[in-house]
Chains A and B, each alone.
Chain A
Amino acid sequence: MDNPYLPYPVRIDEIITETEDKNLKTFKYVFVNPEDEEKFSYKAGQFAELSVTGKGEIPIGIASSPTEKGFVMYTVNKVGLVSTFLHNMKVGDIMGMRGPLGNWYPWEILEGKNVVIIGGGFAFTTLRSSIIYMLDPANRSKFKDIHVVYGARTPGMLLYRNELMEWEKRDDINMHITVDGTDDPDWKYNIGFVPTITEQKAPPADVDTYAIVCGPPIMIKFTQPVLDKLGYAHDHIIMSLEMRMKCGIGICGRCNIGKELVCKDGPVFSLAQLNDMPKEY
């Protein structure tokens, strides 16, 4: 019988320190058994359990895109036992990866639509995956306008800075990068909180326009009224939730909101769905 708890063995191939506070590192993994890569076939928005042998597992959103082959990438915030240990691991170290898990952003629905990505802080990982996926030459024509509002506290806290700057130069994606504040005189992008910039830059609501929102609770709390003001219907607002998880496959029972299990029925829900669920997240 297949064991859904058994991780694929992976090797750390590259580690990138993303932010100036050094609390966020990106890990690129390669599969020890190359045939596992095909089994780990994922969509943008899904997550996996990173398994650090001897410490435990952590559920982390997949930051690489399905269109990027040969590796799988995650950006991990240093918070607890497993993530702290992971931050001290080295290139070449062996660990495990279990997944892909959960649902994904509704690509079936998003095709042919305008997509507005709104992200804050380090919750930009599966949004990066989504942007890379949509910008892939094979996929770009499937989507109409793409807008990205992404903010962090300071320029040094933005994830994937090199890519953000490259996207800024393109004409097939509308970037609205922002920081809460900066003393950098050369900063040529926005200054202001994500909800404010969203209000100024996001396209008006439309049946063909969907917003994907990912960020800390405070950002979501203040972004939702802005989207309401802009007229976004609640089934056109897509969100990805975080929850403490263990099994990742809907069995161990801890990540429920009402009858939905965030690990299996989520982590992606529309605001319309969330409105019918208890506010317990």
Chain B
Amino acid sequence: MKAIKIGKEAWAEGLEKLRDSYRLFGPVKDNDFYDFKELKSGEVPDLNYKNSRLSPKAIVFPQSEIMFEYTLDEKDDDHHLMKEVDKDYSPRAVVGIRPCDALAFLLVKRNFDNPEYRDPYWVQAYETTTFIGLACTTPANTCFCTTAGSGPFHEEGLDILLVDLEDHYLAKIITSKGEDLLRVSGWDLIADFDSSIQTIEEMKKEAEAKVVSSVKTDKLKDKTTIELFDAPFWEEISFSCINCGTCTYLCPTCWCFDIQDEVKGSSGVRMRNWDSCMYPLFTYHGSGHNPRDNKMKRLRQRFMHKLKYYVDKYGDGIQCVGCGRCIRMCPVNIDIRRVCNMMNSYEADTGQAN
């Protein structure tokens, strides 16, 4: 384990060196919001941000992605056969990702990289990516990471943790992937490890204390699926929901997708696109039957998936890292913290939830 000091004057220079070996991604201000973009030559990530509007999941899992291409022209020997497409899986680095968003990739990995199937697109993109995290020193009032399995200095899912110390960054190397990246960068000013760790620990405590909102999740696993599913509060929670899907698009841990064929002339592609459990078509059968035929059922699916089904399936906490995006951006103020606490405190005998 070691820590490196990166002077702010050496920052841009090191990033330029990284470009020889990595495609760089980072937060960039776009009008009023920050979003993760691929950084053009000379462009540095804007790290004066709380968090991005959209989560950085698209770096590994693009909103639209071509899976196969084909021709329908019968003069071609390969007509109607799906062909794999060339993809750029050269190394990439995400600079300045927040710890909660980095952990989200690990939560999502359980879905895309499981003992039975490996999603080749997600897995290859993920495995070629190095995550350089930026510790949070001023969390937002919608952040509840510390009770959602993450934290402002959380290291799981990161290869390097950066701590902003005004005139320089302190970089704690977490994995060998992180070490490899630092080697390329030329940042080589080794910091005293013990005092660095002490600084980080102190700042971490301070930052954690600033995360004032929370969720309670301790009782979720002991409730039965059926009792939570049949709880009376779903009608009330969903009353204002307009099923816009904003929450699922912003969310770093939402992974659902659709697969569609798109044809122009005689050539076509099979692609996947982010989809959302908020939409009626998501579960609409060819027969016309729809098991989730109203907005209450669709909203319930989203929260039950994150806070019960995932909890039961993987036995390692909720499918949420507490980034707070869905709370900030929901047009009708539905708050996952409130829903989570209602589920956690629900007593089927009395029908009460706090």
Within 8 A of A (CB), among B95-144: 111-112, 114, 116-120, 123-124
B72 and A53 within 8 A (CB): yes
Residues on A with C-beta less than 8 A from B14 are none
Residues on B with C-beta less than 8 A from A113 are none
A246 and B289 within 8 A (CB): no
- When A6-B84, A253-B257, A278-B229 are in contact, do A80 and B116 touch as well, CB less than 8 Å? no
The interface of chain B, by Cβ under 8 A from chain A, is 67-68, 70, 72, 79-82, 84, 111-112, 114, 116-120, 123-124, 224-226, 229, 255-261, 263, 268, 270, 272, 275, 277, 282-287, 289, 291-292, 297, 301, 304-305, 308-310, 312-313
Residues on B with C-beta less than 8 A from A242 are 285
A58 to B287, CA, bound (A): 13
A72-112 CB mask vs B (1 if < 8 Å, else 0) is 00000101100100000000011110000000000000000
- When A53-B81, A53-B268 are in contact, do A250 and B291 touch as well, CB less than 8 Å? no
Q: Given A57-B259, A253-B305, A258-B304, list of 10 further CB < 8 A pairs?
A: A6-B68, A7-B82, A54-B261, A54-B263, A243-B283, A244-B283, A249-B116, A254-B256, A277-B226, A278-B304
A53 and B117 within 8 A (CB): no
A-B residue pairs, 6 tightest by C-beta: A253-B256, A79-B286, A259-B309, A80-B286, A53-B80, A94-B80
A138 at the interface (CB under 8 A from B): no
A79 and B120 within 8 A (CB): no
A251 at the interface (CB under 8 A from B): yes
Please give me the residue from chain B that is nearest to A94 by CB atom.
Answer: B80
Residues on A with C-beta less than 8 A from B124 are 1
B285 and A56 within 8 A (CB): no
A258 and B123 within 8 A (CB): no
- When A244-B283, A258-B309, A259-B225 are in contact, do A94 and B79 touch as well, CB less than 8 Å? yes
A251 and B261 within 8 A (CB): no
Residues on B with C-beta less than 8 A from A253 are 111, 255-257, 275, 277, 305
Q: What number of A residues sit within 8 Å (CB to CB) of B?
A: 46
A247 and B225 within 8 A (CB): no
B259 and A56 within 8 A (CB): yes
Q: Which of B68, B275, B304, B309 contacts A252 (CB 8 A)?
A: B275
Please give me the residue from chain A that is nearest to B111 by CB atom.
Answer: A251
A142 at the interface (CB under 8 A from B): no
Please give me the residue from chain A that is nearest to B260 by CB atom.
Answer: A56
B225 and A277 within 8 A (CB): yes
A251 and B277 within 8 A (CB): no
Min C-beta distance of A21 to chain B, whole Å: 15
A249 to B282, CA, bound (A): 16
Residues on B with C-beta less than 8 A from A185 are none
A51 to B257, CA, bound (A): 17
A95 and B80 within 8 A (CB): yes
Residues on B with C-beta less than 8 A from A278 are 225-226, 229, 304
- When A54-B268, A243-B291, A251-B111 are in contact, do A5 and B225 touch as well, CB less than 8 Å? no
A264 at the interface (CB under 8 A from B): yes
A4 to B120, CA, bound (A): 8
Please give me the residue from chain A that is nearest to B314 by CB atom.
Answer: A259
Please give me the residue from chain A that is nearest to B67 by CB atom.
Answer: A5
A96 to B68, CA, bound (A): 13
Q: Which of B120, B261, B308 contacts A53 (CB 8 A)?
A: B261
Within 8 A of B (CB), among A235-264: 242-244, 246-247, 249-259, 264
A5 to B123, CA, bound (A): 14
A22 at the interface (CB under 8 A from B): no
Q: Which of B112, B120, B286 contacts A2 (CB 8 A)?
A: B120
Min C-beta distance of B7 to chain A, whole Å: 41
Within 8 A of B (CB), among A40-83: 51, 53-58, 77, 79-80, 83
A281 at the interface (CB under 8 A from B): yes
A55 to B72, CA, bound (A): 11
Min C-beta distance of B228 to chain A, whole Å: 9
